[in-house]
A = this chain, B = another copy of it.
Amino acid sequence: MSKYQHIKQAAYEANMQLPKLGLVLFTFGNVSAADRDLGVFAIKPSGVPYEDLSPEKMVIVDFEGVTIEGDLRPSSDTQTHAVLYKHWPNIGGIVHTHSTYGTAWAQSQRCIPIFGTTHADHLTADIPCAPPMDDKMIEGDYEYQTGFQIMDHFAAEGLDYNEVEMVLVGNHAPFTWGKTPHKAVYNSAVLEAVAQMAYLTEQINDQAPRLKDSLIKKHFERKHGPNSYYGQ
């Protein structure tokens, strides 16, 4: 048995959550699961339908993006995953989808404004939208550069990837992450729900104000602060 079996299993299970949660059509998404001690991650093979997946088909890749184990070609977004794992040491799982509402906001090249407590329960900032890459980056190693585009945007906006576990890549689609692949998938579903609510909020009231700071702070601390009292 592969010494990577545990992350293959974790990546498999997390990938299978995507169609169940309505976040992917066909193969338009992928999840990876990292083992930081081993310095590798398991990721979905490219273009394989979810119903044909198995833990054995997951591909093992290191943080430089080099395939270590596996018969299949890894997801075309693998270099983006590798870059984020390499530079953001607390991440254990990454998800990429083309979920409907999240992708629509990304195509609109707008951040998702924080309009309510559903959003604030998860992050205190607008969901950031990294601008499309410049042409030089696109012509280079595109997926590799996508990782830097995300990181550069977080640096420029003063965002902490430990607090803001999601991003829209302009003209493209969402990426989310977390301490575990399960948490990263959870964040993808939250992003999609918040994206739909924010869209509807603006349709219902085009002057809808952002959530006020005191409520942002309160709701986030309910779940995440030192005195958090949500969950068990």
Contact = CB atoms under 8 A, between A and B. Distances in A.
Interface residues of A, number: 60
Nearest to A71: B232
A6 B20 CA distance: 33
Contact of A118 (B28, B198, B222): B28
A108 B207 CA distance: 8
A214 interface: yes
A173 B196 CA distance: 14
B186 A229 contact: no
A222 B76 contact: yes
A132 B215 contact: yes
Given A116-B171, A186-B26, A232-B72, A104 B139 contact: no
Q: How many copies does the complex hold?
A: 4
A209 B109 CA distance: 9
A107 B100 contact: no
A164 interface: no
Interface stretch (A35-43, A45-53, A81-89, A155-163): A45-53
Given A172-B116, A231-B46, A218 B105 contact: no
Given A109-B205, A171-B211, A47 B230 contact: yes
Contact of A108 (B142, B172, B204, B215): B204
Given A25-B189, A73-B229, A173-B118, A104 B204 contact: yes
